[in-house]
A and B are shown apart, each in its own frame.
Chain A
Amino acid sequence: MKRAFSMPGFAIGFCMAIVFVAAALLSFFWTPYATDGVDIVNKLRPPAAGNWFGTDQYGRDILSMLMVGARTSIAVAVVAVGIGMGLGVPLGLAAAAQKGSLIDEILMRGNDLVFAFPALLIAILITAVFGPSAVNAIIAIGIFNIPVFARLSRGAALSLWTRDFVLSARVAGKGALRISVEHILPNITNLLIVQGTIQFSLGILAEAALSYIGLGAQPPMPSWGRMLADSQTMISFAPHLALFPGAAIVLTVLGLNLMGDALRDLFDPKINRER
């Protein structure tokens, strides 16, 4: 971990991401103003001392909205990555353990099928069928995370299966399940962390995109994407409405990507050797 922080990319990305996580956690206990009420008299105030980021079209404090919105974004992305890992990794490990079998074929072709659809299309399909809500956005984003993790873990596991320590474990009489859990999984954790970080940032983007087109979190739950969408017609006279949620999305995603890149460099043995 120390090594990670010595990499500037990781340190910067981590700082950026932690600000938003901290803001999201803080919003559970405190926000500068309440976000569930409207105060029309004070609508569209530009950034000032009382409201650092100004107020929106209903007079709500944009900073408070962003803090609660961070909660929505992070919650959706965390659960979605959890679904992707929780289902994708076992599927990938199972496919690798049964390489070449019918199960492998069915699992991986099924993965290809899901993978072939653009992620957002799946999301639109699901929310169109089951109705727009934060929960359905989570399911939609989670589903397109499954093949990502399944492929990654299958590919990594396949090369591990040919290694001597796995062979010796097999000779010792361990079954495929135990080998996968005790020997394969610990050895691909690094890869999963890297991919998880990247998928996490993609999840935040996807949630913002879904909310932007009205298929994500529904009002009154604040969401960065919907804040952006609502600001569209007012951009010319109240640019702060779009600026702050836009910046929040950019900075969070950038921070997570920096972290992901740095972690990949760290864990990649080829790059390490060159150092």
Chain B
Amino acid sequence: MKHILLGASALALTASMAMAQNTGITIGDQLEPPHLDPTAGAAGAIDNVVYINIYEGLTEFASDGSVIPALAKSWEISDDGLTYTFTLQSGVKFHDGSDLTASDVVWSLNRARAEDSVNAQKVLFANIADVSAPDDTTVVVTLSTPTGNFLFNMAWGDAVILNEGDDIEALKSAPNGTGAFTFTNWVQGDSITMTRNENYWGDPALLETVTIKYISDPVAAFNAVMGGEVDAFPTFPAPENLPQFDADPRFTVIVGSTEGETILSTNNKMPPFDNPLVRKALAHAIDRNAIIDGAMFGYGTPIGTHFAPHNPAYLDLTAQSNYDPDLARQLLAEAGFADGFTTTLKLPPPSYARRGGEIIAAQLRAVGIETEVTNLEWGAWLEEVFKGKDFGLTIVSHTEPMDIGIYANPDYYFQYDSADFQALMDDLNGATDPAARTGILQAAQRMIADDYVNGYLFQLAKTGVANADIRGLWENAPTQGSNLSEVYWAE
């Protein structure tokens, strides 16, 4: 009898261990977020944790990049395109137990668009003239001009809805959202844990716990996945290791698209890059395929303009800036730099930049352009390059979705100042007809390609690796962050 009991308890133990394995997941990520308030910071690492999982917006992105209803069950748009009437989901509760009401939405949007707002994407809210709440489940947003992509804007992680009156500083370490997971614990420098929200208004999460573990070193990341310390690494930092995972039946390699246009950013106001001929020469001096192959081990799609290839409005303009070093030399001579010149190439930490930088430096050297390469950490890069504009060239991936609008801002770090382009973006903001929008977007793609604003390299691929039994991970990255509530273990 005793033996049987022992055997039974041992069985129960193994069963519970198996259960524990199947109801939780550990996900690896490279960068730890500075804090957890997506409405007060630009760091993509924040959204990687909280977007959809903890905080939700009126609308949200699906894995394929389409915009779907979230906290707003439905909406009506007035004929003039200026008034959006949102009907909220009923029975939505914040994690602290308070109800979501229309006034929370009004408060959140007003806070984001306020004069003193610290929102990293204030432009998303720029066209909002007024937000009001006729009753507890209805929100009326009035725009100053028709904004064709307003619902798209509301899907961003920067536009999530907070609980009115919450202590904003406290939210940075203890987020209080409406999502399918509640924040549990943050071990600084190590991991963040979320637990299933049992009172979730929609379909509950399939996993009980999600732990996001921070491993910045690519070798450590490789070992962590191989050793089973993390179950998935959605954006694996070393593409050269993916073939090994692919050959191993324990793992699946997930290759999808991202919104990351990886570009050789050029300081358009700094001589000699203020000369379009020099920028054109630069574009022809670069061999995109060698960069994709050498830096990303083949993962990535060549681009000829600042637009995502999976977008229906994308134009393939790569032929316009094909690899032609002889033409590049000729253009440099035409511009008065027959003997070349020296400039700076400042590189942030990701491998696409560091490795791509070495390859680009060699390619530029071949046409007579010498580069002084400086490797910078993200903080220094933001300070020197992004804010200080003290650079000749840099390599960076612009991961925001549909961000061609940055070219309309003459103060943006690459300092492209074109009245024509700015007028084009004004037209785009006023256009709601899909065909008209596509036409304008394509004209915009052509314009920046014709002006050779930056060196357009490739669309960053999302290269992830996961345990072969995991299902439901997002294949693509239409934005920073992904919905983890649909992830489960197959068995």
Interface residue ranges, A against B (CB under 8 Å): 36-38, 40-41, 43, 57-59, 131-132, 214, 218-220, 232-234, 236-237
Q: Give the residue name and chain of the B residue nearest to A43 (CB).
A: B294
In the complex, which residues 355-379 of chain B have their Cβ closer than 8 Å to any Cβ of chain A?
355, 357-359, 361-363, 365-366, 373-375
Complex: how many Å from CA A232 to CA B219? 7
Q: How far is the CA of A40 from the CA of B293 in the complex (A)?
A: 7
Which residues of chain B come closer than 8 Å to A233, judged between CB atoms?
218-219, 222, 238, 240-241
Are the CB atoms of A219 and B357 closer together than 8 Å? yes
Contacts of A132 in B (CB 8 A): 375
Please, which residues of chain A bring their CB within 8 A of the CB of B219?
Answer: 232-233
A219 to B222, CA, bound (A): 25
Chain B 328-370 interface mask (CB, 8 Å, partner A; 1/0): 0000000000000000000000000001011101110110000
Q: Complex: how many Å from CA A36 to CA B219?
A: 27
Asked if B188 is an interface residue, CB under 8 A from chain A, the answer is no
How far is A19 from B361 in the complex, measured between Cα atoms in Å?
A: 31
Query: What residues make up the interface of B, taking CB atoms closer than 8 Å to A?
Result: 218-219, 222, 238, 240-241, 243-244, 289-290, 293-294, 355, 357-359, 361-363, 365-366, 373-375
B244, A220: Cβ atoms closer than 8 Å: no
- From known contacts A131-B374, A234-B240, A236-B244, infer whether A40 and B361 are also in contact, taking CB-CB under 8 Å: no
Q: B residues within 8 A CB of A40?
A: 289-290, 293-294, 359
User: In the bound complex, how far is the Cα of B241 from the Cα of A177, in angstroms?
Assistant: 63
A36 touches B362 (CB 8 A): yes
The 5 closest A-B pairs by CB, nearest first: A40-B290, A40-B294, A233-B238, A38-B362, A232-B219
A-side contacts of B238, CB under 8 Å? 233
Could you tell me the distance between the alpha carbons of A57 and B289 in the complex, rounded to whole angstroms?
15
Cα(A38)–Cα(B290), bound, Å = 9
Smallest beta-carbon distance B346→chain A, Å: 11
How many Å lie between the Cα of A141 and that of B363 in the bound state? Answer: 33
Distance between A135 CB and nearest chain B CB, rounded to angstroms? 13
B residues less than 8 Å from A232 (CB atoms) = 218-219
A220 to B374, Cβ gap below 8 A? no
The answer to whether B240 touches A36 (Cβ under 8 A) is no
Bound-complex Cα distance A157 to B391 (A): 53
Contact assessment for B361 and A219 in the assembled complex, using a CB-CB cutoff below 8 Å: yes
Q: B241 to A220, Cβ gap below 8 A?
A: no
Residue of A whose beta carbon sits closest to that of B351: A233
Q: Are B362 and A58 in contact (CB under 8 A)?
A: yes
A37, B365: Cα distance in complex, Å: 8
The answer to whether A57 touches B294, judged by C-beta atoms less than 8 angstroms apart, is: yes
Is the Cβ of B358 less than 8 Å from the Cβ of A38? yes
Question: Judging by beta carbons under 8 Å apart, are B358 and A58 in contact?
Answer: yes
Complexed CA–CA distance, A13 and B425 (Å):
70
Closest residue on chain A to residue B377 by CB atoms: A214
The smallest beta-carbon distance between B212 and chain A, in angstroms, is 22
Given the complex of chains A and B, what is the CA–CA distance between A131 and B355 in angstroms? 20
Contact A37 to B373, CB < 8 A, known contacts A58-B294, A58-B358: no
Interface pair A38/B374, CB less than 8 Å apart: no
B364, chain A: closest CB distance, angstroms = 11
- Within the complex, what minimum Cβ distance (angstroms) separates A248 from chain B? 20
> Bound state CA distance, A57 and B359, in angstroms?
10
Q: Do A38 and B363 form a contact, CB below 8 Å, given A57-B294, A219-B358, A233-B241?
A: yes
Report the minimum CB–CB distance from B1 to chain A (whole Å): 53
* Chain B residues near A36 (CB-CB < 8 A): 362, 365
